[in-house]
Amino acid sequence: MTIASSSALDAFFKNNDFSSPGTILSLILVVLVGIFIFLFNAMAMRRKQLDIKIHFLSVILNRRRQIAAELDEHSPVPETSSMAARLACDAIAADRIAALPHDSLSPALIDEYRKLGEALAQALPECRAELEHYNHLVEKKDSRWFTRLCRFKPRERF
């Protein structure tokens, strides 16, 4: 099998004239298309990973808001769906819950709320760093033509 493929490869190179302008232009076009596909896939993968991290934060915030509503009926609700507003409301709710007397509250809910807070505190800096890196790549002057062409847009900073 190796002999057949190497002989087919030898035949290809022997029968093609790589000095003709058409062949050179075709090879350049193939290389440019390959580079474009590589760059697009790299940016799309980075955007997908960022979206997964933002979704993870969103799930944590939603659960913490549910628990805060069960623990304190006056817990704040974010005015908008932006991540910054949701994080601000979560901080206010955490302060309100910390001020409540813990002996009258469900220990299981308090423990889950605390663990979710630790997970949020651990995931938030990593997500923010990834967000800044992605937004930097999208807004970079050198690659702005590429990101506009492929419709990559910066994500909300929080």
pLDDT digits (tens, 9 = 90+) for 100-133: 887 888 899 999 999 999 999 999 999 999 999 9
Amino acid 42 reads A
d(CA 61, CA 117): 9
Supply the pLDDT for residue 111. Answer: 94
Is the pLDDT at 10 greater than 80? The verdict is no
Question: How many residues belong to the chain?
Answer: 158
Q: At CA 50, angle to CA 46 and CA 54, rounded to 5?
A: 170
Supply the pLDDT for residue 13. Answer: 63
Average pLDDT over residues 144-156: 91
